[in-house]
A and B are shown apart, each in its own frame.
Chain A
Amino acid sequence: MRRVILPLLILGTLSLHAQSFIDNAQVNGSFQTDAQYYRLDQGIDITDLNGKKLGVNGFGKIGYSYGDFSAGLRFEAFLPELNGFRNELNGVGIANFFATYDNGFIGVTVGDIYDQFGSGLVFRTYEEWSLGMDNALRGVRTIIRPAPGVTLKGVYGRQRYYWAPYNERDFSSDDYRGIVRGVDADWDLNQSLSSMSESDLKMSLGGSFVSKKQYDQSTFYNIPLNVSAAAGRINLGYGRFGFSTEYAYKINDPSFINNFIYKEGQSLLSSLSYSQKGLGVVLQLKRTDNMSFKSMYTGKQNDLDINFIPPINYTHTHSLPSMYTYSTQPNGEMAAQFQVNYTIPKGTALGGKYGTKLALNFSQVNDIVRDSILFCGEMVLGQSGTKGYTSPFFAVSDHRFFRDINLEVDKKISKDWHVTAQYINLYYDIATIEGHVGAPVVKANIGFLDVTYKIDKRQSLRFEVQGLWENEVHDGYVYEESDKKDYQKRGHWAAGLLEYTITPHWSFSIADKWNYGNPVPEFRDHYFTGTVSYLHDATRVMLSAGRQSEGVVCVGGVCRTVPASSGVSLTVSTSF
């Protein structure tokens, strides 16, 4: 009976409402293609293309919405993937689809889900095209908002792993993965309680619980069937002050990343801020201890992450400062971040006619302290199959991973001139962060000057000069011949850029990066590039030719390494 009723119901309503369903619906979409043609370049040691002359990453997505209903799908093609992207991406297909009904009280989504609980310490699924990163949860999500300020969420599904099928128990391949399920509650007291609606005190509370069910494939370790994690959070605001904190706990979860130790994991993320017009101050603290949480315990790098541990350091945007970018160390870190943004008011001696914007930043990350534990009558530290170690919660190890102290001045000098300058003092443990084992720490001073000159209403010129000077690794430095690879981007750098823009459509730029102080003479290369960009409404076309240096591309704290390359690249994107 039901078999007949449902289609009839659908048909009936369809014919009744089809017209309004089409007339009043919204259809939108976007496309992007990134292509690169690679060529041999003896100058930067590219003597073999490994059969890859062309790499193409592309996607097209289309979305449909009508009132409370929306749906969409995304088609992706990697033919083959660009250098630096994971080889598993190679392929074509519909990578993502979903349908959502949300009437404000209840919302249901089926398909590929992106969501985040709190700050993501126990659950975050997201997509970052420029990194080839997508850990969408394919399944069901329900959101219920029973009262103003109260949001309840539940998710259930399995995560995307490149193009691997979503089979439950495909032990034949090593990319099978577990089921992820989670619930989250968020309560905003100011929206919820009438007594607090006009209060100066802003307060919200939240809690989440997430668990994965995985199958033990290991013949050596006894892998737990269910691993659960929970988190609690609080956000407070009072006048100009703000405070927020989230604590997360995970039960033992032996994995490739933590070297198969059976220890619980913890994470704490807190921030305190003060802001008034013209002044903003923020202090953030973070502790991470064994918090890698993946739906496949054999997962490497960023594969199948269920959670997201945000790095809290400053994100640089210019090419030399962003060459050494910190990425989260899920096995343990103690991090602090302090930032002041201040605008010297207009009309004062230092502020001038337009005001002067200053930003001071301090970030540092150290390791946590690990104490050995007793196992079978012996003291062991981090040994597989044991509880690993104990770690005092507030202790900071002497092992420093990263430090960045920087000061930025941003000043409009006159109607036509604008200057931004920044000085950075950097400490970067490249052995830990990028896995160049044994390579000396990068201790560097970095600076840049970025000047824009408006020729007239339509045309402008911009130039940049940048320098990076390493304190210890430079000309005359003695290195082992076998370790040469670890020195590919080390030593002093100089960079320059000149850009000519005709608003609103065209931009032409030439840039050079020169590794003039590399300790290895044959690595003292120029990386010259020329770029043309065209913008028109929602369309962006960018064509560039030249050399790309080996480096790390990071977005939102997740990074991928890009090998050195030479050739021509084209990006086209548009949306409608």
Chain B
Amino acid sequence: MKTMKKLFVLLFAVLMISGVQAQQKSDLPNVTIKNLQGKDVNIAKLSNNGKPFVMTFWATWCGPCIKEHNALDEVYSDWQDETGVKIYSVSIDDSRSTAKVKPFVEGKGWDFEVLLDVNKDLARAMNVSNPPYTFLFDGKGKMVYQHSGYFEGAENDLYEEILKLKK
């Protein structure tokens, strides 16, 4: 326990010194996960060329999540044309179904940018305890809207929030 305390103090000191470079305020946590191609993606660096983006948490075993994704899939190309919004779809499937995610997504014909959060590092950092869970970020990475759960037609409310950012 004593060594633990020492480490804490040391770490604190290190971060104080390193904290000199003030960072721009963003609500994206410093967590690295992989995309479907196996490439590392640092969430803190996510962006959509200054346009808003959606981050939605789901799993292959979550019924309402699949409903939400199907609903988003139907409107996605219209939304993109009208607002340039991008959807990041974060799968929290663990190793029991990680290998199934890509064939599942392709089989459903979804076009979202899919990320794999295999040990829920991102979900934990963003306080997502149960999927589905949806966040909307503005072009600077600031979170402007979040929603727990999915009810039929809830994508319309999300779209209204996206349209607000356009103004």
Using CB atoms and an 8 Å cutoff, list the residues of chain A in contact with chain B.
Answer: 6, 9-10, 13-14, 16-17, 20-21, 24, 26, 28-30, 32, 61, 63, 65-70, 99, 101-104, 108, 110, 114-116, 118-120, 124, 126-127, 129, 140, 149, 151, 166, 188, 190-191, 202, 204, 235, 237, 242, 244, 269, 271, 273-282, 284, 308, 310-312, 315-318, 339-343, 354-355, 357, 359, 410, 412, 452, 454, 457-458, 460, 462, 501, 503-504, 507, 533, 535, 537-540, 556-557, 573, 575
In the assembled complex, B113 has its CB within 8 A of some CB on chain A: no
In the assembled complex, B99 has its CB within 8 A of some CB on chain A: yes
A119–B118 Cα distance when bound, in Å, is 9
Other A-B pairs beyond A104-B42, A315-B97, 19, CB < 8 Å: A26-B27, A28-B127, A32-B129, A67-B21, A70-B29, A110-B4, A114-B120, A114-B121, A120-B95, A202-B38, A204-B38, A242-B102, A271-B99, A280-B104, A315-B60, A317-B61, A462-B152, A503-B154, A573-B129
Q: Which residues of A contact B120 (CB under 8 A)?
A: 114, 126
> How many of B's residues come within 8 Å of A, CB to CB?
70
In the assembled complex, B13 has its CB within 8 A of some CB on chain A: yes
List of 9 A-B pairs having minimum Cβ-Cβ separation, nearest first: A341-B107, A280-B103, A280-B107, A310-B96, A315-B61, A275-B106, A119-B95, A271-B99, A13-B16
Q: Which residues of A contact B38 (CB under 8 A)?
A: 188, 190, 202, 204, 235, 237
Most chain-B CB neighbours within 10 Å: which of A108, A190, A281, A315?
Answer: A315
Least distance between A288 CB and chain B CB atoms (Å): 13
A452–B151 Cα distance when bound, in Å, is 11
Q: Which residues of B contact A120 (CB under 8 A)?
A: 94-95, 119
Q: Which residues of A contact B42 (CB under 8 A)?
A: 104
The answer to whether A17 and B95 have CB atoms under 8 Å apart is no
CB-contact partner of B154 in A24, A126, A204, A504, under 8 A? A504
Nearest B residue (CB) for A101: B15
Main DSSP-derived SS at the A contact region:
strand
A260–B121 Cα distance when bound, in Å, is 35
Decide: A277 near B109, CB < 8 A? Known: A32-B129, A537-B148.
yes
A279–B109 Cα distance when bound, in Å, is 8
Q: Which residues of B contact A13 (CB under 8 A)?
A: 13, 16-17, 19
The answer to whether B21 and A460 have CB atoms under 8 Å apart is no
Nearest B residue (CB) for A576: B127
Least distance between B63 CB and chain A CB atoms (Å): 4
Least distance between A468 CB and chain B CB atoms (Å): 18
Least distance between A344 CB and chain B CB atoms (Å): 10
Q: Which residues of A contact B127 (CB under 8 A)?
A: 28-30, 61, 63, 575
Q: Which residues of B contact A281 (CB under 8 A)?
A: 103
Q: Which residues of B contact A355 (CB under 8 A)?
A: 109
CB-contact partner of A279 in B37, B107, B121, B156, under 8 A? B107
Which residues 113-167 in B have Cβ within 8 Å of A in the complex? Answer: 118-121, 124-130, 145-149, 151-154, 156-157
A104–B42 Cα distance when bound, in Å, is 9
Most chain-B CB neighbours within 10 Å: which of A20, A280, A537?
Answer: A280
The answer to whether B63 and A317 have CB atoms under 8 Å apart is yes
Decide: A504 near B119, CB < 8 A? Known: A21-B19, A279-B106, A315-B60.
no
The answer to whether B9 and A540 have CB atoms under 8 Å apart is no
A310–B98 Cα distance when bound, in Å, is 10
A-B contact pairs, 12 of them (CB 8 A): A28-B126, A65-B29, A67-B18, A67-B19, A69-B18, A101-B14, A280-B106, A343-B108, A501-B151, A503-B153, A540-B148, A557-B94
Least distance between A177 CB and chain B CB atoms (Å): 16
Q: Which residues of A contact B17 (CB under 8 A)?
A: 9, 13
Nearest B residue (CB) for A457: B153
Q: Which residues of A contact B40 (CB under 8 A)?
A: 149, 151, 188, 191
A503–B157 Cα distance when bound, in Å, is 9
Q: Which residues of B contact A10 (CB under 8 A)?
A: 9, 12-13, 16
Most chain-A CB neighbours within 10 Å: which of B7, B8, B94?
Answer: B94
A338–B130 Cα distance when bound, in Å, is 27
Q: Which residues of B contact A342 (CB under 8 A)?
A: 107
Q: Which residues of B contact A271 (CB under 8 A)?
A: 99
Which residues 30-75 in B have Cβ within 8 Å of A in the complex? Answer: 30, 37-40, 42, 60-63, 70, 74
A66–B27 Cα distance when bound, in Å, is 10
The answer to whether B15 and A191 have CB atoms under 8 Å apart is no
The answer to whether B106 and A116 have CB atoms under 8 Å apart is no
Least distance between A137 CB and chain B CB atoms (Å): 12
Q: Which residues of A contact B130 (CB under 8 A)?
A: 540, 573
CB-contact partner of B96 in A14, A108, A556, under 8 A? A556
Nearest B residue (CB) for A555: B61
Q: Which residues of B contact A68 (CB under 8 A)?
A: 15, 18, 30
A4–B82 Cα distance when bound, in Å, is 61
A269–B98 Cα distance when bound, in Å, is 12
Least distance between A305 CB and chain B CB atoms (Å): 13
The answer to whether B153 and A282 have CB atoms under 8 Å apart is no
The answer to whether A110 and B119 have CB atoms under 8 Å apart is no
A275–B106 Cα distance when bound, in Å, is 6
The answer to whether A69 and B106 have CB atoms under 8 Å apart is no
